[in-house]
Amino acid sequence: MGRLMTLTLTSHRGRQYPVELFSRDTVFTDTGAVYLFLRAPEGRSVQAQVLYVGETGAMGRQMIEDRRPGGPWERAEALGFDTIGGLALARPEDRAMIAQDFIHSWHPPCNDGHGALAGLVGLVAPAPFQMKRAIGGK
């Protein structure tokens, strides 16, 4: 299906990042990016869950690599992963810094996060109904 919308995530340091949201069937080019496997909020919830954070110089190839058995795709899928977030960044040092900021902000369970509430990110309002419908929700 492709691109769904842009969501601004605010890290624990107060930095805001415009993260583009994509359906799981999106075919990516080999662009440098920080990416997230997310479970979108349901109903009137104002919290999404960041399940995994990664960074890569080649997003298209990385999605193939992440689908290997036992990889982050499979681990996030077991936790209800339904959306991919991406923040395109050309410079490797920027990707590394922002990926670490995201990991420290949300402690994603598939990045060795801890506890059932690991990875919860507060949103300013419930996710639009159209977003859940676009990614296969009800």
CA distances (Å), origin 99, targets 35, 103, 131, 132, 138: 8, 6, 24, 25, 31
Angle, CA of 28, 26 and 113, to the nearest 5°: 85
With 0-12 / 13-18 / 19 or more C-beta atoms within 10 angstroms meaning exposed / middle / buried, residue 38 is buried
Whole-number pLDDT of residue 128: 46
Q: pLDDT tens digit string along 40-98? A: 877 665 678 899 999 999 999 999 999 999 999 999 999 999 999 999 999 999 999 99
Whole-number pLDDT of residue 118: 55
pLDDT classification of 23: cutoffs 50, 70, 90 = very high
pLDDT classification of 101: cutoffs 50, 70, 90 = very high
Whole-number pLDDT of residue 134: 46
Q: pLDDT tens digit string along 121-133? A: 554 444 444 444 4
SS3 content of the chain, % helix, strand, coil (to 5): 30, 30, 45
Residue 107 clears pLDDT 70, i.e. is over it: yes
Whole-number pLDDT of residue 116: 46
Beta strands 33-39 and 83-88 are antiparallel
Domain ranges (residues) in the chain: 3-134
